[in-house]
Amino acid sequence: MGRTPAITEETPPEMPAEPAQAERFGKARSARSGALREDYVELIADLLAAHGEARATEVAKRLGVTHPTTIKNFARLKREGLLTGRPYRGVFLTDAGRKLAHRVRARHRLMVALLRAVGVPAEAAEADAEGMEHYASETTLKAFARFLKRRD
């Protein structure tokens, strides 16, 4: 494999074609909007597995957001078909919500494994993976999985 040349402050960046760059920025914006949905679904799945229920108060505390913000996001996730529940009760994932939670959890584990493989300490790997898992493309995730498999 070839090596990537070092980039320094003196090295001017090679600009991609405008349509390609616009597509890249569009994908990043889309990933940002999906990240919130994925964080909620992932956390709800974890709470359901650990405690058998996921209540708005607990979700709000663990995500570091307000209770009204959590209620608003629960309503959106219900409209999107990812959650079910009744007012003043816990929420549960639909089949679609469970599938999404499973995909997000798998991406998270893969990202943590990659970061640990390149020497990132466990706590930092967990924290960094929490953001990175939402932005890596399927192509990149598959490349990470191949890389890790070769190391075994």
pLDDT given at position 13: 74
69 vs 23, higher pLDDT: 69
Q: Please, how many CA atoms are within 13 Å of residue 136, restricted to the half-sphere of its CB?
A: 24
CA pair distance 80, 74, nearest whole angstrom: 10
Q: Quick one: average pLDDT of 111-124?
A: 96
Length of the chain: 152
Query: What is the separation of C-alpha 83 from the centre of its chain, rounded to a whole number of angstroms?
Result: 18
Q: Which CATH architecture is the domain 31-151 placed in?
A: Orthogonal Bundle (1.10)
Confidence of residue 64 (pLDDT cuts 50, 70, 90): very high
More confidently predicted of 37 and 20: 37
Q: What is the pLDDT of residue 33?
A: 67
Is pLDDT above 90 for 18? Answer: no
Looking at every residue in the chain, the average pLDDT score rounds to: 88
Please list, in sequence order, all residues whose beta carbon lies within 8 angstroms of the beta carbon of residue 45, skipping any fewer than 6 positions away. Answer: 93, 97, 98, 101, 102, 105
Q: How confident is the model over 85-100, as a mean pLDDT?
A: 92
Whether the model clears a pTM of 0.85, i.e. scores above it, the answer is no
- The ranges assigned to domains in the chain are 31-151
| Residues 6+ away with beta carbon under 8 Å from 151 | 117
Q: What is the pLDDT of residue 6?
A: 61
Task: Please check the confidence at residue 119 and state whether its pLDDT lies above 80.
Answer: yes
